[in-house]
Amino acid sequence: MSNNKYKVLIIEDDATIIRFVETVLSTSNYQVITATNGLSGERMASSHNPDLIVLDLGLPDMDGLELIEHVRENSTVPILVLSARSHESDKVAALDRGANDYVTKPFGIDEFLARVRALLRTSRHCADSCSVPGGRFVLKDLVIDYDKRLVTMAGEDVKLTQTEYNILALLSEYAGKVLTYSAIVRYIWGANDSGNVKKIQVNMANIRRKCGFNPGDDSYIINELGVGYRMKDGKED
Ligand code: CA
């Protein structure tokens, strides 16, 4: 098992945070390698083939956003952003450049490890089957049958429009990950409509009502305010 550990690359210049993250990950049986600036981070990302990158946005030699773009040119490795920036726009910028999720500093061990597990799970799942979405998605009472394009809640059919179904299916395929508003618009309506957040909100309200999600209930879909939506991973809590 020891040579079968997930390899996590931490790119971060703050020694305190490196120590913290390294300890947390090693204790949970991950192999950890670290880079303290963007350039060596980029080199290690390509030479060490990590399973996950944990990335600080504020690096001494380059902006973390730039690094995301460079890595994405030839890799789909999941990237978890550690952001001290609490502005939504920075999170959106990171996700839109290809980061998969973020945690805002200061963060707790449990939240951090849950995000790491979710990303590794989804990327492994994607490598196997994402090209052909088939089968079913199950989250508590919600079942999505991709082949029949059918949604049920506690066994009852939910009558969704094509657009509502497409949004729900999209969120489920990325369960555990945040999809930004503009990413959702791009997937559902195409690039020309990006910026039309109102459309998503209207459809999402209908989805919630038809599925019987109570107002404020985030046990299925979480609205990351100002950023986008995240469907819960079936294995969370
Ligand atoms: Ca920093």
Within this chain, do residues 25 and 114 fall inside the same structural domain, yes or no?
Answer: yes
Final residue in a domain of this structure, among 128, 158, 190: 128
Q: For the chain, where are the E strands, in sequence order?
A: 7-11, 31-35, 52-56, 79-83, 101-104, 136-139, 142-145, 150-153, 156-157, 178-180, 221-224, 228-231
Which tokens go with 189? 């309506």
Residues with CB under 5 A from ligand 1 (ion): 13, 56, 58
- 84 vs 94: CA distance, rounded Å: 13
pLDDT at 129: 37
pLDDT at 163: 86
Within this chain, do residues 139 and 121 fall inside the same structural domain, yes or no?
Answer: no
- 105 vs 66: CA distance, rounded Å: 20
pLDDT at 235: 65
Is the residue at 237 inside a domain? no
Is the residue at 1 inside a domain? no
Mean pLDDT by 10 residues, the chain (237 residues): 74 95 93 96 90 94 94 88 82 90 90 89 50 69 86 94 90 90 80 72 94 87 91 73
Within this chain, do residues 105 and 170 fall inside the same structural domain, yes or no?
Answer: no
Q: Would residue 161 be called left, alpha or beta, if left means φ above 0 and alpha means ψ between -120 and 50 degrees?
A: beta
What separation in Å is there between the alpha carbon of 117 and the centre of ligand 1?
23
What separation in Å is there between the alpha carbon of 90 and the centre of ligand 1?
14
| DSSP code per residue over 133-200 | --SEEEETTEEEETTTTEEEETTEE----HHHHHHHHHHHHTTTSEEEHHHHHHHHH-GGGTT-HHHH
